[in-house]
Chains A and B, each alone.
Chain A
Amino acid sequence: MAGALGRPRGARRSGLGWGFYLSAGALVLLSLAPILWVLKMSIVPRAELFASPPPLLPQELTGASYATIFDDPTFVRGLLNSAIIAGSTTIACLVLGAPAAYAFARLRFRFRTAIMTAILALAFFPAAAVIAPLFIEFRAVGLLNTFWAVIITDTVFVLPLTVWILTAFFRQLPRDLEDAARVDGATTLQAFRLVVLPLAAPGVAAAAIIAFIVTWNEFLFANTFLFDSSTWPATVAIPNFATTHTVDYGAQAAAALVITVPIAIVVLAFQRRIVQGLTAGALKG
C-alpha cells in the first residue's frame, strides 16, 4: 500500500485532520481500556475494589490477588497443561498440514479441488455438533480425560486454518527452484523438504503462531473431554476458579490477565507475521 513515499492520497492528505486522530485515539482507548481496568482491579486491595465510585487510578497496591492464584494448584497446573496441549497441537498441525498444503499448492492429483474444499469446509463446522459422538468414540478407545482427546480434536479443527495459510504461502514461492531441484534428480518429497520448506519458513512461522493462539484459547473441547481438574488447561481452570472464588474479583482479574500474558507477548512480537498469515489465505485464492 501507500504509494512510493507513503502519500497515497495526495489531495486528501490534508483531510486527515484532528477529527481523524481523535477517532483513532478513541479506538485505541476502547481496545485497551478494559484490559487496563482489569489490570487495575488485580492490583488493588479488596476495600478499594468495592469503593463506589471506583477511583480511576489505583490508590494502594497489593500483590495479594496474584498470590491467591499462584497458590491455587489447579491454576498453575492449568497454565502448564495449556502449554502442553497448545504446543503439541501446533506441532501436529504443522507436521500434518505442511505436506498437505504443499500438495494442494503444487501437485497434480485426482479430486484435489474436492478434498481441499472438504478440508476448508471443516473450518465452518459448529464445534458443538461433534462433541456427543466424539465423547462416545473417545470413551470407546479409552482416550477420555486424557490430553490426547483434546489434542486430536484441536488438531483436526485447527488444520483447515493451517492448510489454508500454508497453501497461500507455498503458492507465492517461485517455482523455478523446485523445478531446478527436480531436474537435478530430486524427488517431489525431497524438493519439498530441502527447497520449499526452508524458503517458506516465514509462512510456516505465521501458521504456527496462529495455530498456537487458537489452541491456547480453545475451551469447548477441553471442557467436554477433560473432567479431572489436574488435566484442565487454563481456559477451563479459570471459569471454574471464578466459581470457587465467587467474590474474590481481584483474583479473577489476576487470573484473566496471567493466562493472556503469553498470548499478548506473542501478538506484540509477531504482529506483522500474524496479520500476514491471517490475510494471506483470504486474498490469494
Chain B
Amino acid sequence: MSTRPDSAASLGLSWARDRGARGIARLTGGGSRSDERRTAGLMISPPVVLIVAVAFFPVAYSWYMSLHDSSVTGVGEWVGFDNYAELFEDPDFTRALLNTTVFTAVSVALELTFGLAIALGLNQAFRGRALVRTSVLLPWAFPVVVSALMWRLMLQDDVGVVAYLVNSLELADAPILSQQSSLLIAAIGVDVWKTTPFMALLLLAGLQTLPRDVVEAAMVDGAGPVRRLFSVTLPLLKPTILVALLFRTLEAWGVYDLFWVMTDRQLDSLSTYTYEGVRISQLEFATGTAAAVFTFFAALAIALVFIRLLGTRTAEE
C-alpha cells in the first residue's frame, strides 16, 4: 500500500495510477480475462442501475422540471428560466443562500482550525489518549436531529443552561431562539461541536502517514516546533486537508436536519427552502425544484474547484 503523503489526494479519483500494477497479475495467468470481465459486469451492474435510477436520473429530471411550469402532479409547459428568475427575486431564497454560505464558510473554517489542533495533539503519545479519542467521537455519532434537539433544550430561554449563562453575562438582548442572527451563530456552534471530531480523525490519519524522516531532519536542522509545523508538516498535509475540506464543505452546503430541527423552521438553508417548496407548499413546487437544481450545480462547482486544487497539487509532486 502506498504511504506517500499525497496518497490521500487521489481519493480514488486517480485510479489510473495503479493500472500498471495490473499487468503483473495478467502475467501470473490466474483466471481468464473474459471470465474476469463478465464477473466484473455482474458485480457492478446492480449498484450502478440502482444509482442511476435513484440519484442521477432524478437530478436530470429535476433540471427538466425546473425549466417547465411543473407541479407535484405533473410537468406543464416550457417556461425557460422563469422559475430561476422568480427564485432569485424571492427574498426567502436569497436569505437561505446567504445563511447557507455563511454557515458553510464559518463552520468549515472553524472545524479545520480546531480539527487540526486536535489531530496534532492526538498524534502525540500521551496517557489517556484513548479516552480523548472516544469522547470526541461520541458527538460525531449522534444523529444530527438529536444534537439539534439537545442544543435547542440548552438554548431554550426558560430552562436552557446556555441561555441562562448568556443572559447572566448579558450577551444577548433577546432570546437566542427568537432571532435569525443568534440562531445562525448557534447552528454554526452546534455543527462545530459535532463535526470537528470527524475532521480531526481524517487529519490525524493523514498526519500518521507523513514520512518521519523529513520531520526528524527538520528537527536535526534546528527548526523549532512552530517552524516545523508551518514549513514541513502543513505543506505535506495539504492534500489531506483539501480532501477533508471537500467533504465537509459539501456536507455543510446541503445542511438540512440541523436548521429544520434546531431553529424550528425559523432559519432557512438552501435545503430547507427546497423542502418547503417541493414538499410543503404546493404552490412553490417549481421554484423549489429550481432551488434544488441550483444547490446541486453549486455543489458541483465547489467540488470541481477542490478537485482542481488537488489535481495541480498532485501534478507538482
Contacts and interface: CB of A to CB of B under 8 A. Distances in A.
B234 interface: no
A203 to B, nearest CB: 13
A122 B159 contact: no
Contacts of B289: 132
Contact of A249 (B28, B65, B153, B205): B153
Contact of B142 (A159, A263, A268): A263
A230 interface: no
Contacts of A135: 72, 278-279
B9 interface: yes
A20 B164 contact: no
A280 B30 CA distance: 28
A164 B8 CA distance: 13
Given A53-B164, A100-B43, A103-B44, A132 B7 contact: no
Given A96-B50, A172-B1, A128 B270 contact: yes
A77 B44 CA distance: 36
Interface string A60-93: 0000000000000000000000000000000000
A172 B39 CA distance: 21
A282 B8 contact: yes
Contact of B124 (A9, A52, A182, A191): A9
B254 A127 contact: yes
A253 to B, nearest CB: 6
Contacts of A189: 39, 42
A2 B207 CA distance: 12
Contacts of A229: none
Query: Which of B51, B134, B293 is most buried by chain A, counting CB atoms within 10 A of its CB?
Result: B51
B211 interface: no
Interface residues of B, number: 118
B1 A171 contact: yes
Contact of B65 (A115, A125, A132, A256): A132
B146 A238 contact: yes
A205 to B, nearest CB: 16
A239 interface: yes
A283 interface: yes
Contacts, number: 349
Contacts of A113: 15-16
A34 B151 contact: yes
A283 B295 contact: no
Contacts of A1: 123, 125, 208
B151 A156 contact: no
Interface string B121-156: 101111010011111111101111110011111101
A54 B154 CA distance: 11
B286 to A, nearest CB: 10
A27 B158 CA distance: 28
Category for how many chain A residues contact B: 35 or more
A146 interface: no
B47 interface: yes
Contacts of B1: 171-172, 284
Contacts of B132: 24, 27-28
A244 interface: no
Contacts of A239: 145, 149, 260-261
A133 B61 contact: yes
A103 B16 contact: no
A117 B201 contact: no
Interface stretch (B52-60, B77-85, B87-95, B169-177): B52-60
B44 A285 contact: no
B279 A224 contact: yes
A250 to B, nearest CB: 9
Interface in A113-130: 113, 115-122, 124-130
B36 A108 contact: yes
B143 A155 contact: no
B2 interface: yes
B206 A50 contact: no
Contacts of B14: 285
Contacts of A9: 124
B25 A175 contact: yes
B12 A167 contact: yes
A80 B25 CA distance: 48
Contacts of A124: 246, 250, 299, 303
A8 B244 CA distance: 25
B295 A97 contact: no
A121 B51 CA distance: 11
A113 B134 CA distance: 36
Given A130-B59, A134-B54, 4 more contacts: A32-B135, A113-B15, A189-B42, A282-B244
Interface of A: 1-3, 6-9, 11-12, 15-16, 20-21, 23-24, 27-28, 30-32, 34-35, 37-38, 41, 49-50, 52-54, 96-97, 99-100, 102-104, 107-110, 112-113, 115-122, 124-137, 152-153, 155-157, 159, 163-164, 167, 171-172, 175, 178-183, 187-189, 191-192, 213, 216-217, 219-220, 223-224, 235, 238-239, 242, 249, 252-253, 255-256, 259-260, 263-264, 266-268, 271, 274-275, 278-279, 281-285
28 contacts: A23-B121, A35-B150, A37-B154, A54-B164, A97-B47, A100-B43, A108-B22, A109-B36, A116-B12, A120-B13, A121-B303, A125-B59, A129-B292, A133-B57, A137-B58, A167-B12, A187-B39, A213-B141, A216-B143, A219-B261, A220-B275, A238-B145, A242-B261, A256-B153, A282-B240, A284-B1, A285-B12, A285-B13
